[in-house]
Amino acid sequence: MCGIVAYNGKSNAQERIIHGLEKLEYRGYDSAGIAVVDNGALKYVKSAGRLQNLKDKLEQNPVDGNCGIGHTRWATHGVPNEINSHPHLNTKEDIALVHNGIIENFSTLKEELIADGYTFKTETDTEVIANLLDKHYDGNLSSTVEKVISLLRGTFALAIISSRDPGTLVAARRENPLILGIAEDGVFAASDVPALLNYTRDVIYIENDEVATIQNDGSYSIRKFGEEVEKEIHHIEWSMESASKDGFDHFMIKEIYEQPKVLKDCLLRKVKNDFVDLGETSFTKEEILGFDKIYMSACGTAFHASEIGKRAIEDAIGKEVTAEIASEFKYNMPFLTENSLLIIVSQSGETLDTLTVLREAKDRGAKVLAITNVVGSSIDRESDKVIYCDAGPEISVASTKAYSTQLLSLYLLALDFGYKLGTYDKEFVTDIVKEFESLPEKVEKMFDSRDSIREIAKTIANKKSMFFLGRGLDYLSAKEGALKLKEISYINAVAMPSGELKHGSIALIEEGVPVVTLLSQMELFEKSISNIKEIKARGAYTIAIASEENSALRSVADEVILIPKTHDMYMPLLAVLPQQILAYETSVILGNDVDKPRNLAKSVTVE
Ligand code: G6P
């Protein structure tokens, strides 16, 4: 996720900004840059790769001055290189800005600006803001920013300077985080608290559509829709370590709680006017009809998302789709031909097993569509088409928010295919998209169960093994729940179809064995209830995760966690949450290294 640090005051801006960017490195980035107004002139330096590359360049050519902006970029539009890195400038190069977020209507704005004679150097959505500021400049940077943000759709945190208004720094936000830090020698604007802690613990949280104007003498004002707003100063008590996790104890739980936000971000670029719009990232009706077969391949959590995506795509196209674990598929893909489509799913975009399947498919002339979270990754570069998850960097090894956005992206792809082939009509797609738009609220509601899940985790923590059961899509969700638990608690967790347990594994059920059963699929509900009764009769500690209309389950299972309702097909998006929290709480109780579990790596680049 991009990191912003800006400063205006009495001291050297470069030093403070670079220090702040270093403290935001944990957020993940692929390039960095800085701009400063120095003696009335705008200077900037950018660099691809690590912050050290930028520091090396600045050592040769320092940017002096007391008013500046800095940025670490996590690519969302355009490959991660120096040109696309921030700050971005207007054509005349006298306004510079850094941006965190996604501008939804950037292509329309860009076309209008090109018609007005503006030229563009980068592939980013951000560059349009720089030229819009130029176009609407009214002699005052702050009021110009107020005007320009009213033209933007999407999300942003912005910090802006200009040699036309050399003593002023302007910062604004909508949905993306932005704070001011009030220090003795000046005022900071930043994405996150760690960037400031070395200089101040007094911060102001900027809210949506607020515009902060910071002058060189340390004075500042905050306006919203033209009206000045009074803001409270908060004193931060956190340590540096907990600040980088937004006050959460671990990145994993922070990322679990980010899911409502990233689901919104994931929809932002794939939906227009309540309708799925994947643009160039999808295929035409003729192309879809031309595929002899659709294959999907991935590893770990991404494979679990693929298995669910497979069901959604099959429903949309009315034909069988095959989902294969990449480390096996690469040895056995006899039927994949130049007429096939391969859908690859990977958070990191670098998993070698997955990449090997992709390369083999490309060698055979097949088309490859990737769903990945990392712009510029190998899988991104080598695929024919790419849908980005827009989950932001995932730091915890155990994948949580990436899984949810992989699922949502696959569901949207299925809707797109289904609409193009005539399986779904416009009204149906619109209804589902609206349902997706309401999901973040439902996910939020799930967090209310955290205390009761922690109580369950206390019982589970001293067990050696357990089961995760489900029927239909619930079985596929259960596989992800079991993997999460194994990864971070080191308790052996076996996922099984509920109906298969009786064919052997039930021999392992004895007094106290924990069994999580998922019951989110309405038509399979009765059958799963019978399974719970069967295992309870043999002494199991039964935990049911069920959709909310099934509260009667309380008389059947020992523990019941209720999840909000959506269409059965999309329930996996909600069913995964309590399982993620259960794995997390169990790992914490056991005192494990939650974010860096033993033997695991975030990106596995060996076969
Ligand atoms: C590793 C990680 C898993 C992840 C898998 C696939 O094994 O430990 O958490 O699900 O790789 O990673 P990818 O980046 O391709 O989604």
Q: What DSSP line would sit under 518-552, residue for residue? A: EE--GGGHHHHHHHHHHHHHTT-EEEEEEEGGGGG
Q: State the pLDDT at residue 244.
A: 76
Indicate the top mutation candidate among 297, 329, 330, 347 to test ligand 1's pocket, ranked by most ligand atoms within 8 A of CB. 347
* DSSP sequence for 57-82: HHHHS----SEEEEEEE--SSS-SST
51 — pLDDT class (breaks 50, 70, 90): very high
- Residue 434 neighbours by CB distance under 10 Å: 12
Write the residue with the smallest CA distance to atom 2 of ligand 1.
602
Sorting pLDDT into bands at 50, 70 and 90, what band is 2?
confident
Looking at residue 143, its amino acid is S
Residue, of 468 and 235, whose pLDDT is higher: 468
* pLDDT value, residue 1: 66
Which residues sit with their C-beta closer than 6 Å to ligand 1?
A: 299-302, 346-348, 351, 354, 397, 399, 600, 603-604
Average pLDDT, the chain: 93
Distance CA 203, CA 181 (A): 4
State the burial class of residue 558 (Cβ atoms within 10 Å of its Cβ: 0-12, 13-18, 19+): middle
CA distance 221 to 213: 5
Taken in order of first residue, the domains within the chain and their CATH numbers are 3-244 (3.60.20.10), 253-445 (3.40.50.10490), 446-590 (3.40.50.10490)
Q: How far is the CA of 351 from the centre of ligand 1 (A)?
A: 7
Which token pair is 222? Answer: 């905050």
CA dist., res. 251 & res. 238, Å (int): 15
> Can you list the pairs that 19-22 forms with residues at least 24 positions away whose Cβ atoms lie under 8 Å?
19/198, 20/70, 20/188, 20/190, 20/195, 20/196, 21/51, 21/70, 21/71, 21/72, 21/195, 22/51
Instruction: Give residue-wise pLDDT tens across range 488-533.
Output: 999 999 999 999 998 999 999 999 999 999 999 988 888 888 889 9
- pLDDT-based confidence at residue 607 (cuts at 50, 70, 90): low
Q: What is the predicted pLDDT for the residue at 477?
A: 98
- Per-residue pLDDT, averaged over 168-183, amounts to 93
Asked whether the predicted pLDDT for residue 78 surpasses 80, the reply is: no
Q: What is the mean pLDDT of residues 97-121?
A: 92
The pLDDT > 90 percentage for the chain reads 80
DSSP H/E element including 265: helix 259-268
Name the nearest CA neighbour of 68 among 89, 99, 37, 98. Answer: 37
460 vs 602: CA distance, rounded Å: 26
**Predicted confidence band at 189 (pLDDT cuts at 50, 70, 90)?**
very high
Query: What's the confidence (pLDDT) of residue 116?
Result: 94
Alpha carbon of 580 to ligand 1 centroid (Å): 15
| Catalytic hit among 55, 527, 596, 602 | 602
Mean pLDDT of the 88-98 span:
95
Q: Considering only CA atoms, which of 464, 561, 451, 548 is closest in space to residue 516? A: 561
User: What's the angle, vertex CA 277, arms to CA 77 and CA 411, rounded to 5?
Assistant: 100
Which residue did the predictor score with more confidence, 313 or 239? 313
- Higher per-residue confidence, 352 vs 469: 469
Whole-angstrom distance, CA of residue 357 vs CA of residue 376:
18
Ligand 1 atom, smallest distance to 354 CA: 15
The predicted pLDDT at position 50 comes to 87
Q: Measured in whole angstroms, how far is the alpha carbon of residue 152 from the centre of its chain?
A: 21
* Closest CA to ligand 1's atom 3: 300
